[in-house]
């Protein structure tokens, strides 16, 4: 299982930021062709990002590319171009429903058939809540077999809603944004894909980021998108099981093995009654710890 705690944005066409990102401890890099690129530079930057994919050694960092929305004037050309260099995944913005995911998957299949390249390992990370109407389709869109993660976008969602603010005076998400965040988590877990928390845009407020990461990890998110180098270590720490959690999980798995032999799948462990859900949680903690 590939470890994907911190997923860091790199503006397309910015060689300085790419070179810096390659030395950062981010698990994955998103090479961005969408919001960080002006319309008049879209085609030129697309070529530069393709050069990055072709010529750059990313080491262990996962190579993701955020294309423009597939129904935009650039989306299809973005997809066809970057697929020639077989990124690890495509970050798909402005996803409205399952039809959008199916259409993108079909384009990938068509390119496989045309070129003979094996693109079966190219996965989709969906940004599934940037449009208000998409929220109601989250459950279906994440079930496609090519999808391996979903995140949500508070910034674009706020524009879609016409919201005047996203957070209250204490820095907590307003109710509608908390609701969408929870729906994203539930949809991801139900479909057995990765739930990824949204960006934290107040880049100087590292204490606020720590609190938000801790809440996200406590809820069940397993990663977060970052937009500044100072955020990455905080995100990695929040979504990495602690030594105590790993020790406890390993002990619980061992206890289940012992009790299974005695025909029991519910028993007392450290003063608490445990059963199969506790086993699955412990196994998930160990799997995250073993991710590369």
Residue matched to tokens 């208000």: 132
- Same structural domain for residues 256 and 163? no
- Asked if residue 168 and residue 268 are part of one domain, the reply reads no
State whether 226 and 279 are in the same domain.
no
Collapsing DSSP to helix, strand or coil, 103 comes out as: helix
In a domain, 1, yes or no: no
My answer on whether 22 and 142 are in the same domain is: yes
CATH number of residue 226's parent domain: 3.20.20.60
pLDDT of residue 137: 96
Dist. CA 18–CA 24, nearest whole Å: 10
Domain shared by 47 and 90, yes or no: yes
Cβ-Cβ contacts under 8 Å for 250 (sequence gap 6 or more): 282, 286
- Give all strands (DSSP E) within 67-190, no chain letters: 89-92, 123-127, 147-151
> What dihedral do alpha carbons 46, 95, 152, 157 form, nearest 10°?
100
pLDDT at 12: 97
Structure confidence at residue 113 (pLDDT): 96
Contact by Cβ (8 Å): 7, 26: yes
Q: Are residues 275 and 139 in the same domain?
A: no
The answer to whether position 184 is within a domain reads: yes
State pLDDT tens for residues 50-106.
999 999 999 999 999 999 999 999 999 999 999 999 999 999 999 999 999 999 999
- Rg, C-alpha atoms of the chain: 20
Q: What is the pLDDT of residue 267?
A: 86
In the chain, the number of structural domains is 2
Domain that holds residue 188: 6-238
Token pair 């699955």: residue: 280
Say what the pLDDT of residue 289 is.
Answer: 67
pLDDT less than 50: residues of the chain: none
Alpha carbon separation from 192 to 132, 139, 143, 149, 189 (Å, rounded): 23, 11, 8, 9, 5
């Amino acid at each position: 299982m590939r470890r994907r705690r911190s997923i860091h944005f790199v503006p397309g066409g910015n060689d300085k930021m790419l070179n810096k990102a390659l030395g950062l401890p981010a698990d994955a890099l998103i090479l961005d062709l969408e919001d960080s690129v002006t319309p008049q530079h879209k085609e030129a930057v697309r070529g530069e990002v393709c050069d990055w994919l072709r010529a750059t050694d990313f080491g262990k960092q996962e190579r993701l590319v955020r294309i423009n929305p597939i129904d935009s004037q650039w989306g299809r050309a973005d997809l066809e171009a970057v697929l020639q260099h077989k990124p690890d995944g495509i970050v798909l913005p402005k996803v409205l429903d399952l039809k959008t995911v199916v259409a993108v998957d079909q384009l990938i299949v068509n390119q496989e058939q045309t070129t003979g390249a094996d693109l079966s390992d190219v996965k989709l990370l969906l940004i599934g809540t940037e449009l208000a109407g998409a929220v109601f389709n989250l459950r279906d869109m994440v079930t496609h077999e090519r999808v391996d993660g979903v995140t949500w976008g508070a910034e674009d969602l706020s524009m879609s809603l016409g919201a005047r603010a996203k957070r209250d005076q204490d820095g907590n998400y307003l109710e509608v944004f908390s609701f969408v965040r929870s729906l994203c988590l539930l949809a991801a877990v139900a479909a057995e894909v990765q739930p990824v928390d949204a960006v934290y845009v107040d880049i100087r407020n590292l204490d606020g980021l720590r609190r938000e990461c801790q809440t996200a990890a406590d809820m069940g998110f397993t990663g977060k998108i970052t937009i500044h180098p100072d955020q990455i270590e905080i995100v990695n720490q929040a979504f990495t099981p602690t030594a105590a959690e790993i020790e406890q999980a390993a002990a619980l798995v061992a206890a289940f093995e012992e009790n299974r032999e005695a025909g029991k799948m519910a028993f007392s462990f450290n003063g608490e009654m445990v059963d199969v859900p506790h086993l699955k949680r412990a196994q998930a903690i160990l799997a995250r710890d073993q991710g590369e």
